[in-house]
């Protein structure tokens, strides 16, 4: 990463992600002016962004003109990327050569996409992970096929031996247990844990139930189990020179933890922490890292709401205050596609999950009733 130029807190900041709302909200909290490039340009993003460009994909031919627009119009060079560029690693290379990435550079991003190297490093560092192989297994035996370049659980399917070889993928043994994650900052040398989280998935678009659906800043991990993850991170951060906000996904099966992957960029779990994470992210990229992070009070949950059928978003639809990533009026949401996200805050974790479930049920029923009866108020 080049020397940062975000010392002036009124600076513009380019944000690139599949959905830029969360990063734009965090940038505003940090006193910055977000310039957003994403796929949705939802109502929240339009309200939060100083300016925005909606693109059809994050492919280089779409991304490059949007970057040109912001650079020429706002004379800024600072950029933070979020999720979605896993499918387009060449775009991270482009950002690294053209702009000042506040986060992990292309070398780190590319190396973490090399799954064979990643699991070899875990083996070398004595870090547990579900069994993997890079040639077609001889028997089914609970194998999964996972894409080499993926995010959010998309493209993961159960393996059947009659399946053709998985080009651009690898095989991993299905591991029972609870899906967890840890959000952390890093300065290239050591990690600082923000918090441990529990995640859940949804069955979407004929997938096998591995699509990311939600996260809550609560787990049942013991202190010893948290310390184990901390120890592993202390080995991985200097190995990959990780900087800024990152997350690590793992499965907790009884007393054993199994690492799945590192996400070398701000993740969805940012949404369940109310701290000024973008300022901390930038400072960590510059080498400054606190010794401890303030303990979170209360619990927060974030969930993506998926459509069960094709939906038309009506005029003047009254969204609940817990809804985020709001689609524009008259948008058509395809079946099994995300409608919006929802957020809940409570003093007890169970109350958060209950509130999210109730809000999801209410929102979907309200939108589905409108499709038939035009009842939307």
Q: Are residues 161 and 247 in the same domain?
A: yes
Residue at 1 is within a domain: no
Q: Are residues 270 and 143 in the same domain?
A: yes
Q: Check which CATH number belongs to the domain holding 48 and give it.
A: 3.40.50.20
Q: Are residues 142 and 280 in the same domain?
A: yes
Out of 67, 102, 137, a domain closes at: 102
Q: Are residues 32 and 97 in the same domain?
A: yes
Q: Are residues 197 and 156 in the same domain?
A: yes
Q: Are residues 35 and 95 in the same domain?
A: yes
Phi–psi pair at 101, nearest 5 degrees: -70, 125
Q: What is the pLDDT of residue 161?
A: 57
Q: What is the pLDDT of residue 151?
A: 62
- Domain interval for residue 42: 12-102
Segment 222-267, tens digit of pLDDT: 999 999 999 999 999 999 999 999 999 999 999 999 999 999 999 9
The number of domains in the chain is 3
Helix (H, G, I), strand (E, B) or coil at 180: strand
Q: Are residues 191 and 243 in contact, defined by beta-carbon separation less than 8 angstroms?
A: no
Q: What is the pLDDT of residue 377?
A: 45
Q: What is the pLDDT of residue 211?
A: 81
Q: Are residues 225 and 128 in the same domain?
A: yes
Residues of the chain scoring pLDDT < 70: 1-10, 138, 140, 150-155, 158, 160-167, 203-208, 373-377
Q: Are residues 251 and 178 in contact, defined by beta-carbon separation less than 8 angstroms?
A: yes
pTM over 0.95: no
Out of 54, 82, 102, a domain closes at: 102
Q: Are residues 86 and 169 in the same domain?
A: no
Q: Are residues 38 and 115 in the same domain?
A: no
- Per-residue DSSP letters for 268-311? GGGGG--S-HHHHHHHHHTT---S--PPP-SEEEEEEEEPSS-E
Residue at 310 is within a domain: yes
Q: Check which CATH number belongs to the domain holding 146 and give it.
A: 3.30.470.20
Residue at 71 is within a domain: yes
Give the length of the chain.
377
Q: Are residues 181 and 85 in the same domain?
A: no
Residue at 64 is within a domain: yes
Q: Are residues 133 and 227 in the same domain?
A: yes
Helix (H, G, I), strand (E, B) or coil at 240: helix
Q: Are residues 98 and 157 in the same domain?
A: no
Q: What is the pLDDT of residue 7?
A: 45
């Amino acid at each position: 990463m080049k020397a940062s130029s975000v010392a002036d807190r009124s600076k513009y900041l380019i944000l690139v992600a599949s959905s830029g709302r969360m990063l734009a909200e965090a940038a505003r909290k940090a006193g910055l002016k977000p310039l957003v490039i994403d796929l949705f340009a939802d109502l929240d993003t339009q309200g939060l962004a100083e300016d925005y460009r909606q693109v059809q994909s994050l492919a280089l031919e779409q991304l490059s003109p949007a970057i040109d627009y912001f650079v020429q119009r706002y004379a800024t060079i600072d950029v933070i990327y979020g999720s979605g560029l896993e499918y387009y690693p060449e775009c991270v290379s482009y950002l690294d050569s053209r702009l000042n990435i506040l986060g992990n550079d292309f070398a780190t991003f590319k190396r973490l996409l090399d799954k064979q190297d990643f699991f070899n490093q875990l083996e070398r560092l004595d870090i547990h992970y579900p069994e993997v192989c890079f040639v077609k297994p001889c028997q089914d035996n609970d194998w999964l096929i996972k894409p080499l370049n993926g995010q959010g659980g998309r493209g993961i399917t159960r393996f059947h031996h009659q399946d053709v070889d998985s080009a651009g993928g690898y095989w991993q043994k299905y591991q029972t247990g609870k899906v967890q994650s840890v959000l952390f900052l890093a300065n290239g040398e050591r990690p600082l844990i923000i918090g441990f989280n529990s995640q859940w998935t949804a069955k979407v678009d004929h997938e096998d139930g591995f699509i990311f659906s939600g996260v809550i800043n609560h787990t049942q991990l013991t202190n010893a189990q948290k310390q184990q993850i901390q120890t592993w991170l202390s080995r991985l951060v200097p190995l990959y020179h990780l900087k800024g906000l990152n997350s690590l996904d793992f499965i907790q099966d009884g007393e054993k933890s199994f690492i799945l992957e590192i996400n070398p960029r701000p993740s969805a779990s940012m949404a369940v922490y109310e701290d000024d994470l973008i300022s901390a992210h930038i400072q960590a990229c510059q080498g400054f890292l606190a010794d401890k992070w303030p303990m979170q009070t209360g619990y927060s949950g974030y969930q993506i709401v998926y459509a069960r059928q094709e939906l038309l978003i009506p005029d003047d639809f009254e969204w609940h205050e817990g809804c985020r990533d709001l689609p524009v009026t008259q948008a058509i949401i395809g079946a099994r596609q995300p409608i919006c996200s929802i957020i809940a805050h409570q003093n007890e974790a169970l109350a958060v999950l209950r509130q999210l479930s109730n809000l999801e049920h209410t929102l979907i029923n309200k939108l589905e009733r409108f499709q038939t009866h035009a009842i939307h108020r």
